[in-house]
Structure 1
Amino acid sequence: MVKAIRVYEYGGPEVLKWEDVELGEPKSGEIKVKIKAAGINYLDIYLRKGIVGDNTPAVPYTPGLECAGVVIAVGPEVTSCKVGDMVAYASYPVCTYAEEQILPADRVVPIPPSIDPIVAAAVIFKGLTTHGLVRKCFKVGPGHTILYHAAAGGVGSLACQWANALGATVIGTVSTKEKAVQAKEDGCHHVIIYKEENFVDRVMEITSGIGVDVVYDSIGKDTFEGSIACLKLHGTLAVFGMASGEHEPLRFQKVAEKGIYYTAPSVLLYTKKPSDLLEASKELFSNIEKGVIRVRVNHKYPLSQAAQAHSDMESQKTKEAVAVVQMDGLAVRVTTKRWAGMGEATRQVSVTVGGNGWAGMADSGGGIRCKRWPRTISVASKTRNGCIDIDFLTVGSLRICDSLDTKHMNMTN
């Protein structure tokens, strides 16, 4: 049995249930992966609501389109990876909000050793989406001017950096001044706070009335007409999301006025062939390694709190990459001169942990106490040769800040 998020009915974040599931062994062409982290995308929310048409999974199902983890078993005839490989997944079937999962071997890609698995999990689907937008659907290059809605979002942050590196002039729309600062850092030459000014007027002002070569629109209904108005003659409108709802049908006259091109790019179609998936992921990871793209995972949640992560994303409390992560074990050894030579005994020790993220400690009943840190944790445990071992389950960085005797205490992991 492993733990996973399950959905039994379409609806709000409350339909995400944390429970035990049976997981078999990989069959031909499959691998079993111990998932280190799973990314969260707006598409996960659309699927949870049941509003993605034929692509909506039938209930019950385990959500999640992207993850990173280590291969722990391979099925017959699998030669593309082996036990111990660190891999990333971004595809259908949805299934990644789980401690372990069976995945199709031809839909995973290797993660370079230099890239943190949590970063890989948070970026793989968004990064492949970005690759499709700027390298496939409309090949961005020097001399192009692009408009990107939601420039501070998960895909937006990547797309603006990538488009800037490709030589384009980047215009981004955001909702707040805080997000405007981030968009500037991510390569936007011009940032429009759409709640304070009309984005169409500003785009036409910036482009001297010409318009932009391409609009990348994941908002849908609220921005659709304005996006068309921002296009230059023969410009391209790439609609790849519907955060505000589905837009009105595109009328022939609207297309004919400027001879525009309309497309609905899909990362799943651009990476349908395993060779295309591998090529796109290599370019993505290479750009991360070279610093062309910076990935900020600003929000991390324990996997069991996926419902809270969805709620925060929908209420726009999050920006950039969001990940739900597993609690990996970390043994902390506390050594003190006070206990040296005293033999085996049970003693009480208090330790304060600090850092970024969550910490949990296995209790005597085998359960997990999970708290945001900094926390002071008291534990009674046996000491041997002046040492006491404490097992933590931790996400993020763990820092030992204090103990019974800081003057003589040495702590290692």
Structure 2
Amino acid sequence: MRAIVVEELGGPEVLRPAERPSPVPGAGEIRVDVTVAGVNFMDTGSRRFGPPGVGVPFVPGVEGAGRVSALGAGVTDFAIGDRVAWVYAYGSYAEQLVLPAASAVPVPESLTDETAAGVMMQGLTAHHFVTEAAPVGPGDITLVHAAAGGLGQQLTRLIKLRGGVVIGLVSREAKADVARAAGADHVLVSTGDRFVKDVMELTDGEGVHQVYDGGGETTFRASLSVARRHGTVLYYGPLIGASPVVTMRELPNSVKVCYPVFHDHIPTREALLARTAEIFELVGTGQLKVPIGGRYPLAEAARAHRDIESRATTGKLLLLP
């Protein structure tokens, strides 16, 4: 079977197609014929620095959808031919993948494989942010960085479903309409820390209740400055430049700072099934959209990485084996 193999860490050029043996599932595992693999910005970090606990060579990608083609011993939750989706299963940039059966979820017939694969990482992440890590209540004013990106759009939609008001930041005017279409109430074109004055004007000097900041160190202190008293700054930008360093006494307005860990939202299989079922229901009823920003043949994974790193894309990028 064909896979994208990283034999040395580096730029997009290290993402090279290669032939590998068809994997065999062990006890408690399933093999899936991959139909769609999701491309996430975190994949670029894995390509440059290596996945945690995984050496080179490795097959990148942690998210996708497909059909079960083989069962390991003891697997009873799935049958051959079942449609499944997954997240945080390394090796997804491939025609076939072996993963723990406990990490896969059934895909409703009402959803396409593209939709299921496209919502797993960003849908669960956005759900984590707005329901547990920095919960949004009716009337809360939120600031969403990179509001035209795949995660930014999902955040905006879920915030609106919870009755919040969204101020969306985009890096260029061409992305403003994308953020508005996702539901942003106000859209600011801004890079770096230039958004502070406009955000404070929009909130009558009070600041926002929550900030969702994936911009890295360059935006973190500005995000702190626009959080209102007892507001929350949720930071998720460790792959974008250096992580910010701040002392406790520097935190203004009694704000809270959160660094969300994905698995804290789905610590058990029961939680994974419940969260994904809720998200799939929102997508199935049209309340949550999964905008596709680009489709690439598996062999063109390097081009997908160049595009996502250029910040010129909007929506979800997918690889099609």
TM-score, normalising length from structure 1? 0.75
Q: Which residue of 2 aligns with 1:199?
A: 195
Contact 2:234–2:259 under 8 Å retained in 1 = yes
Rounded to whole Å, the distance in 2 between the matches of 1:147 and 1:116 is 31
Rounded to whole Å, the distance in 2 between the matches of 1:197 and 1:126 is 25
Q: Which residue of 2 aligns with 1:163?
A: 159
Matching of residue 271 in structure 1 with residue 266 in structure 2: yes
- Displacement of 1:34: 0.2
Rounded to whole Å, the distance in 1 between the matches of 2:77 and 2:273 is 11
Q: Which residue of 2 aligns with 1:352?
A: none
Q: Which residue type is aligned with residue 10 of structure 1?
A: L
CA offsets, 1:80-114, max 9 Å, x none? Answer: 2111110001014x110000111110001111111
Rounded to whole Å, the distance in 2 between the matches of 1:317 and 1:324 is 18
Contact 1:88–1:124 under 8 Å retained in 2 = yes
Kindly indicate whether structure 1 or structure 2 has the higher relative contact order, using CA contacts under 8 Å at least 6 residues apart.
2
Rounded to whole Å, the distance in 1 between the matches of 2:296 and 2:147 is 23
Contact 1:118–1:325 under 8 Å retained in 2 = no
Contact 1:16–1:307 under 8 Å retained in 2 = yes
CA offsets, 1:126-159, max 9 Å, x none? Answer: 1111111111112212021110100000100111
Q: Which residue of 2 aligns with 1:260?
A: 255
- Displacement of 1:56: 5.7
Contact 1:71–1:87 under 8 Å retained in 2 = yes
CA offsets, 1:355-383, max 9 Å, x none? Answer: xxxxxxxxxxxxxxxxxxxxxxxxxxxxx
For the aligned residues, what is the CA RMSD? 1.5
Rounded to whole Å, the distance in 1 between the matches of 2:315 and 2:108 is 22
Q: Which residue of 1 aligns with 2:114?
A: 118
Q: Which residue of 2 aligns with 1:71?
A: 68
Q: Which residue of 1 aligns with 2:78?
A: 81
Instruction: Decide which structure has greater helix share.
Output: 2
Q: Which residue of 1 aligns with 2:137?
A: 141
Rounded to whole Å, the distance in 2 between the matches of 1:71 and 1:29 is 13
Contact 1:219–1:243 under 8 Å retained in 2 = no
Q: Which residue of 1 aligns with 2:58?
A: 61
Matching of residue 38 in structure 1 with residue 37 in structure 2: yes
- Displacement of 1:48: 0.8
Contact 1:288–1:294 under 8 Å retained in 2 = yes
Rounded to whole Å, the distance in 1 between the matches of 2:53 and 2:171 is 29
TM-score, normalising length from structure 2? 0.96
- Displacement of 1:272: 2.7
Contact 2:23–2:97 under 8 Å retained in 1 = no
- Aligned partner of residue 222 in structure 1, secondary structure: helix
- Displacement of 1:199: 0.7
Q: Structure 2: 5+ residue runs without aligned partners?
A: none
- Displacement of 1:269: 2.8
Rounded to whole Å, the distance in 1 between the matches of 2:122 and 2:159 is 14
- Aligned partner of residue 217 in structure 2, secondary structure: coil
Rounded to whole Å, the distance in 1 between the matches of 2:242 and 2:265 is 22
Q: Which residue of 2 aligns with 1:347?
A: none
Q: Which residue of 2 aligns with 1:288?
A: 283
- Displacement of 1:243: 5.1
- Displacement of 1:261: 1.0
Q: Which residue of 2 aligns with 1:338?
A: none
Q: Which residue type is aligned with residue 236 of structure 1?
A: T
Q: Aligned in 2, Cα 1:267/1:300: closer, same or farther, shift over 3 Å?
A: same
Q: Which residue of 2 aligns with 1:353?
A: none
Instruction: Decide which structure has greater strand share.
Output: 1
Q: Which residue type is aligned with residue 58 of structure 1?
A: G
Rounded to whole Å, the distance in 2 between the matches of 1:15 and 1:223 is 30
Rounded to whole Å, the distance in 2 between the matches of 1:25 and 1:74 is 9
Q: Structure 1: 5+ residue runs without aligned partners?
A: 327-413
Rounded to whole Å, the distance in 2 between the matches of 1:115 and 1:123 is 11
Quick check: which has more Rg, 1 or 2?
Answer: 1
Contact 1:222–1:247 under 8 Å retained in 2 = no
Rounded to whole Å, the distance in 2 between the matches of 1:113 and 1:132 is 25
CA offsets, 1:157-211, max 9 Å, x none? Answer: 1110110111001111001222111111111101110049931111111111111
Rounded to whole Å, the distance in 2 between the matches of 1:323 and 1:282 is 22
